[in-house]
Amino acid sequence: MTIRAVFLDVGETVINETRPWSLLADRIEVPRMTFFSVLGALIVEGRNHRELLEIVRPDLEKREDFDRLINETDYRFLPEDVYGDVRPCLIELKRRGYYVGVAGNQAVEREDDIRGMGLTADSIATSGRWGVAKPEPAFFERLIAECGYPAGEIVYVGDRVDNDIVPADRAGMIPVHIVRGPWGHLHRNRPDARRARAQIRTLSELPAAVESL
């Protein structure tokens, strides 16, 4: 199989969200241990993380409050939030001749954050800019159009089985599951996780994994 392009998801694939989510926990005055434990329970139950507020701060129970609070929290990505294995991986993928992209479900402001980090990528995109979000098929159609290669020649790397692996597979792309972050670990043994063509634990494994597909 000829692989031409490799796209990486953003949250917990490229960006370690520990610091920004901790800021949100502090903002709503919920201890971080409580915040992250409840988040994990929601992930296990397949529920939306925005339900977290309804549990830990029922006085702020409207789901739209979640996004408003994020905006009030100075929630943004900094260069220090990029996982340490990202830059060497992107450089190595480019060296091997692949088209490299970063595309995930994020507000368009987070795209600006990432663009300012000097990552080695041909394309950086977010659901906020495209107006379509994972797991919608339109997100992956947009991604395919972005690089111009057929779906079967594109690898998509993500931590979530429901939002990354399953819809990338449905779109005809080649899904690779990265087991890190809360979703990555908790989704690892789901039956649908087997739809990934490879499972990795760090991005340092990715160039060789792509080569072996």
Question: Which residues bind to Mg ion, rule: CB under 5 A?
Answer: 9, 11-12, 159
Q: Which is nearer to Mg ion, 103 or 144 (CB)?
A: 103
β-sheet bridge partners, residue 200: 178
Paired tokens of 119: 């990552």
| Residue partners of 40: CB distance under 8 A and separation at least 6 | 182, 186
- Looking at the Cβ atoms of 16 and 99, the one nearer to Mg ion is 16
In the complex with Mg ion, which residue's Cβ is closer, 11 or 207? 11
Residue type, 12: E
CB of 167: closest distance to Mg ion in angstroms? 12
- 11 versus 20: smaller Cβ distance to Mg ion: 11
Q: Are strands 198-200 and 174-178 parallel, antiparallel or unpaired?
A: parallel
Largest CA distance in the chain: 54
Q: Which string of DSSP letters, residue by residue, matches 153-164?
A: GEEEEES-IIII
Q: Which is nearer to Mg ion, 25 or 161 (CB)?
A: 161
**Closest chain position to Mg ion (CB):** 11
To Mg ion, the closest distance from the beta carbon of 2 in angstroms equals: 27
Shortest Å distance, C-beta 97 to Mg ion: 26
- Rounded least distance, CB 51 to Mg ion, Å: 18
Helix (H, G, I), strand (E, B) or coil at 125: strand
Q: How far is the CB of 164 from Mg ion (least distance, A)?
A: 6
Report the alpha-carbon distance of residue 71 to residue 115 in Å, rounded: 19
Q: DSSP of 69-105, one letter per residue?
A: HHHHTT----GGGB-TTHHHHHHHHHHTT-EEEEEES
Q: Which is nearer to Mg ion, 12 or 146 (CB)?
A: 12
Residue 104 C-beta: closest distance to Mg ion, Å? 6
Three-state DSSP state, 158 = strand
Can the peptide bond before residue 182 be classed as cis, meaning omega within 30 degrees of 0? no
